[in-house]
Structure 1
């Protein structure tokens, strides 16, 4: 894939996430995709921060959407190559301090196979 194609997946990811369209978000992921997040590690310690597959991703994000109805990601930058996109964004939630976040999406055959979140 070309970097612009990988970047387009990231744009679609933000659109689906910010409008809380969970099915559209999951459609971007391979069936056996893995996701790592420090927030996941804190909220669900038994996962050690890592979930696998659509069911686990759906459960994680639905919980976030239910708990944080004002959750929104404001894009700062996207940097893509032929198989990965590095995303920098601001996590905003009403009543909480904004948080700078970096996330990497690894892409194979047009689907996200692994995502990893970084923040302080």
Structure 2
């Protein structure tokens, strides 16, 4: 199970870094929930939370449109049977690199929740 969840995380990075929304969303459960401090800043009405694939699509499409060079460089992945803890560097031209941690909660091979933490 750990290997399956680590594989999901690697697919997640591949999809995110290629800005392939269809591939990225295919990794998520239809009712997945996501929390991000960046959501709280750019869409304060959400209080940092979105739910469902349509909301995830809108959030990431907005991010990719605003930041066309956005990339994540993996520094660490730790998986168990229920989640993956990911550490990565957020790279955006013209901004300082940011250390990020994210937890993917996984059930039946789909991401059901994700939480982002900035360092």
Query: Which TM class, normalised by the smaller chain length?
Result: over 0.9
Q: Return the alpha-carbon distance in structure 2 between the equivalents of residues 24 and 71 of structure 1.
A: 17
1:57 aligned residue: 56
2:44 aligned residue: 45
Q: CA deviation at 1:18?
A: 0.1
Unaligned runs of 5+ in 1: none
Q: CA deviation at 1:53?
A: 0.2
Q: Return the alpha-carbon distance in structure 2 between the equivalents of residues 65 and 45 of structure 1.
A: 19
RMSD: 0.5
Q: TM-score, normalised by structure 2?
A: 0.99
Q: CA deviation at 1:9?
A: 0.2
How many residue pairs get aligned? The number is 119
Q: Return the alpha-carbon distance in structure 1 between the equivalents of residues 54 and 86 of structure 2.
A: 24
Unaligned runs of 5+ in 2: none
Q: TM-score, normalised by structure 1?
A: 0.98
1:19 aligned residue: 18
